[in-house]
Amino acid sequence: MKRIVIGFLLLFSWGLKAQTQLNRDWENPDVNQINRLPMRSAYFPYETTELATKGKMENSSRFISLNGDWKFKWVEKYKDRPLDFYNVNFDDSKWVNFKVPADWALHGYGVPIYVNQPYEFSMHNPTPPTIPGEINHTGSYRRTFTVPDAWNGQQIYLHLDGIKSAGYVWINGKAVGYTEDSKLAAEFDVTTFVKPGVNQIAIQIIRWSDGSYLECQDFQRLAGIERDLYVYARPKVHLNDLNIKTPLDNSYTNGLFTMQAEVFNFTGENKGRTSVIAHIADVNGMQVYCDTMRAGELKMAFGKSIVQFKGTIPNVKAWSAEVPNLYRLTITLLDEKKQVLEVVSRKIGFRTAEIKDRQMLINGKPVYFKGANTHEHDPANGHVISEELMIKDMELLKQANFNAVRNSHYPHCERWYELCDEYGIYVVDEANIESHGMYYDLGHSLGNNPLWEKAHIERISRMVMRDKNFASVVFWSLGNEAGNGWNFMQGYNWIRGYDPSRPIQYERALEEWNTDLIVPQYPDPEWMVQYSKSNPDRPLIMSEYAHIMGNSLGNFQDYWDVIESHPFLQGGFIWEWVDQAIYFEKNGKKVFGYSGDWGKPLNDDHNFCVKGVVMADRRTTPMYEEAKKAHQFIKTKAVDATKGMIEVFNSYFFRDLSNYYLTWNVIENGVVVANGKVENLTIGSRSAKQYTLPIPSQLAKDKEVMLNVRFCTKTDELGVPKDMVMAYDQFNLNDFKYSTIVKPSNGGLSYTENDNTITVKGSGVALTFDKKVGEISSYSFNGKTILVHGAQPDFWRPLVDNDYGAGYNQTNKIWRDPGFSVSASNVTKLENGNVVVSFEKSLLKGDASYKQKFIIDGSGKILVSNDMKAGKTKQPVLLKFGNHLLLPVDFATMEWYGRGPGESYLDRKSANIVGIYKKAIQNLYHPYVRPQESGNRTDVRWAKLLRKDGSGVMIGANETVLNVNALPYSPSQLDAGDVREAVQTHSELLEPDRYIHLDVDLIQAGVGGVDSWGSPALPQYRLPYKDYSYSYWIIPIKK
């Protein structure tokens, strides 16, 4: 055995010396590790049951954390790395102190790099497995740790949970090993390398390796030690892999428990009387299973054994995302004297994941997967994720009715899976494979290159072997965007042979045999309808959809209307959960940085990294609220709403509504006139029940009357606090169409006209119109300015990212300035004393005409009407049809009767119901990382823009509801222009304009929600070039 170790060391030492040669370990796809132990299931072994149950490694006397300060040296070029730094006597006194885990670039060593598809180290002509050029950032680390005397005679292991992308390890000057695959742990047996007392450990990490060709994910390209490091000790006889299976029986009633536990003997002695106890207890600590097995094979010196346990748990409480019931499995290893050697304790869940009758079933039910793609991302720490941040993500997911995540595009840290088990989240566990930069041609793709088979299979198999015991993992994914071919087919076959208990998916397999589900990316809702009608042979769950880049997630409700009304469609995973922005200082302020902020060409995908349901710091967004609404599990429909009769449908598959209560209110023109509560909702899963709410028997006929229902939690649930609204709906109780009622005020006005202006005056009223442009140039009431400029016809908006993706910055830019020319102006005084000012304009080089009329009464109210007649020339779609007005900067708040409280758009307004709301104008803007269109409110009946003293102006709908927006920023401040990538803008750096910018629109186009590189808003949410007309009131408000 000593000769084997010595032989390895000689070989490995030669390998280290050969690093200047072409065939380096980190440029050889056949060398993915040296001396790394085979992967085993995720657990930590403790010395006692009590410690194992608490699950805090740091409390174990067998654990030494290596997190914290290391001596550190970073070089830009691999050739400049220190060559002998691993020697015990090396002088590192001039090296910096550096805390790990940490990504280099976030601490001044290199810069964050974000590109979507290419390889950042070989942007245009990748030549795997070589890393071209001299630049390859290399980090060298040194520190000491102390092995206690109590560890003498134990096996000692080094655990590196995640280093990117490749690294070597030395202890006490001796080469220990090498590892690739940055998202799975590497363990090394260092028993023969360490000594009692102080030990020296050295690690050298290379940023880019052959492994980097398989890690071309759409994320921040960072490097360093990104997860925990530690050393731990185990008895010479200890457990190794634990293969736990916990399906339900065919009736989905009883739990079937099997476990194969490997036990290793690292002594030359007979250890055949070693035994293993498996004990399962429920949440109350009551035993439901216990058995003991002897590892007789350990009679052999240096022997190995597999002991197997089997049992049935009658009437088991099954695990699902809705009801994440867990049991505690405790595995105790005893020596021949029945003394505890080590204990492993973990939570397990009994559940079945399978495909039957072209449906994906959890415990026999065809659940919907309301999911998001999750990258490990922290704006301050990059890929270094704290437990606190993971818990925050869990809470946000549960509170927005998400029930699933796709670990994109790599296995996450072990604690994430434990939390998914506990909180109830279905997991797609995905191998750390994406070679997008090589694309998909079978003659070129690494996925079809047999020379890369070993690298693919290792990443796939190690993921499965580590994560197989987590109840939350219900799918395996072979990788992402790496083409299909031999390596993925072999990967599929390996998983199917090792773990037949879970379906396997892979998007690039398309409809080939090596994916059990169809998991497309970015289909539109109509495509999904056609798939459902095609008599498919497999269920469809979108691996990526609803690409949230900037102001997006339009048509999300459309997706779910289709999913829940058509067979074989079972949901999908939004791209993506969190903005991948990184804190960055610019102009003395901390901003969310994105690609380009750190220079080009290595950061040339601009803000494509910013596309989260939540912001990088986990603040929620308008898209978060829309997703929550579309995902809601409690659905209400009107039976006879005018009599208070509703039907409540519980769309959960595994839980009743006993922990929810219903609140309701009736509003008349936005004002609550009645309310009530239904305390007990006795509705089982997938069942409906009718309720008659005691609403007023006499409903107003001259007001708009609506019924609101909300469903709230009675008590705290894990991740969801008591009294949180989890579902809601709104119903019209009459057919009343709101229109602003204006009390006539006649007479008292006069006007004057010259070549340039028209002036209208009355008691406390003064208006001036600019005849050259056909707009109001000033408007004051009672001595205070109401409008500085306005009612400018407006067909453009600051482009959202999906607008740029659809090419509107080029194809539709005629609407930035359609070339208005005033052809006629007129002013008249009516018999009732009102004054009418009108302008006729031509635009689009005469292809269209526009007429705008202002009727002013004696009290200063103005009825503004807009009428456009489209010509016959083909023109691109409009982005809005409305008016833009400028208000003085001292307007502070907006109160409105319309959809709220958040911003809404034509294709994204389900989350916002009609009511009366009030916000500071500065808070109407949502701070998208890259400034763009923001803050719109739809279906507005009236909006009051107010100063602090209560004076201001009201915008009132006339015959049709409006879109209204008021911002302290100008459209030009929010619009990136014709070339988005030409500027690096940030919401944090916006300075308030000298005016408040008010938009009063008939309609604005949808923001889109399919993808961000070619798909505009769906056809029903676009604004074709045609005739448009609408009107609204401008009404001054006295102090």
Tell me the catalytic residues: 481, 544
The three-state secondary structure class of 220 is strand
Q: Which residues contact residue 305 at a Cβ distance below 8 angstroms, ignoring those fewer than 6 apart?
A: 262, 263, 265, 274, 295, 296, 297, 298
Q: How far is CA 1004 from CA 695, 999, 1023, in A?
A: 35, 10, 8
Identify the helix (H) or strand (E) that includes residue 260.
strand 255-265
Task: Note the helical H segments in 941-984.
Answer: 971-974
**Burial letters for 454-465: b for 16+ Cβ neighbours within 10 Å, e otherwise?**
ebbbbbbbbbbb
Yes or no: say if 577 and 217 are a contact pair by the CB < 8 Å rule: no
**DSSP codes joined into one string, 280-345:** EE-TTS-EEEEEEEE-GGGGSTT-EEEEEEEEEETT---B-SSSB--EEEEEEEE-TTS-EEEEEE
CA 903 to chain centre: 19
Q: How far apart (Å, rounded) are the C-alpha atoms in residues 552 and 575? A: 11
Pairing type for strands 671-678 and 660-668 reads antiparallel
DSSP 896: E
* Length of the chain measured in residues: 1039
**Burial letters for 670-687: b for 16+ Cβ neighbours within 10 Å, e otherwise?**
beeebeeeeeebebebee
Yes or no: say if 297 and 303 are a contact pair by the CB < 8 Å rule: yes
The three-state secondary structure class of 168 is strand
Residue 377 is encoded by which pair of tokens?
């991302």
CA 375 to chain centre: 8
Q: How far apart (Å, rounded) are the C-alpha atoms in residues 941 and 962? A: 7
Yes or no: say if 711 and 680 are a contact pair by the CB < 8 Å rule: no
Residue that has been written with the tokens 């889109």 in this structure: 1008
DSSP 753: E
The burial of 591, by beta-carbon neighbours within 10 Å (0-12 exposed, 13-18 middle, 19 or more buried), is given as buried
Yes or no: say if 877 and 1023 are a contact pair by the CB < 8 Å rule: yes
